[in-house]
Structure 1
Amino acid sequence: MNRAEREAAVRRVMERSAPRVPPGLYAEAVRRGGRLLRRRAAARRLLWLLLLAAAVAFALWALTVQPWVEPPSETTPPLTGW
């Protein structure tokens, strides 16, 4: 197929009328799109809530365990009886 034939084929395709859209397609697309947006918003809220819960749990653990405090040395026996 040479260039002229391809151009003629494209013109024939473009000159045809657009296919008819089913009547309820727009309403269905809007309904599904709204549901998808609500699901994404709910998932985002859930992830933020989980992140907040993890931060609170870490803060409570850090306050009780205090990992920044150096543990007492156990290599030297205590000096008693001087």
Structure 2
Amino acid sequence: MSGFPDRKEAEVRRVLDAPYPVVPAGLAAGAAARGDRIMRRRRALQRLGWALLVAAAAAFTVWASVTRPWTVPPSGISPPLEGW
């Protein structure tokens, strides 16, 4: 390692020693408004998702109670006739 600062370090020091840039006046208010819109949209999408999930569960429950898919379907073939 040499005792001389390298080019990148000198550039970083120059940037850090410079005065801070001016921030626009409405930047914080605009960022807060945008964040509020994003949170409202996300909350609405979550509510819609939960509503769809509950509706799907209710539809499945109604379908299952009407069709009873767990029961054995009747056989299409009649049992053999014996003793005629």
CA–CA distance in structure 1, aligned partners of residues 36 and 12 of structure 2: 37
Residue 48 in structure 1 maps to residue 50 in structure 2? yes
- Pairwise CA distance, 1:9: 1.4
- Pairwise CA distance, 1:77: 5.2
Query: Which of structure 1's runs of 4+ aligned residues deviate more than 6 A?
Result: none
- Pairwise CA distance, 1:20: 0.6
- Identity of counterpart residues, as a percentage? 52
The secondary structure found in structure 2 opposite 1:34 is: helix
TM-score scaled by length of structure 2:
0.84
TM-score scaled by length of structure 1:
0.86
* Number of equivalent positions: 79
CA–CA distance in structure 2, aligned partners of residues 4 and 19 of structure 1: 26
Unaligned runs of 5+ in 1: none
Q: CA RMSD in A?
A: 1.9
- Pairwise CA distance, 1:74: 2.1
Unaligned runs of 5+ in 2: none
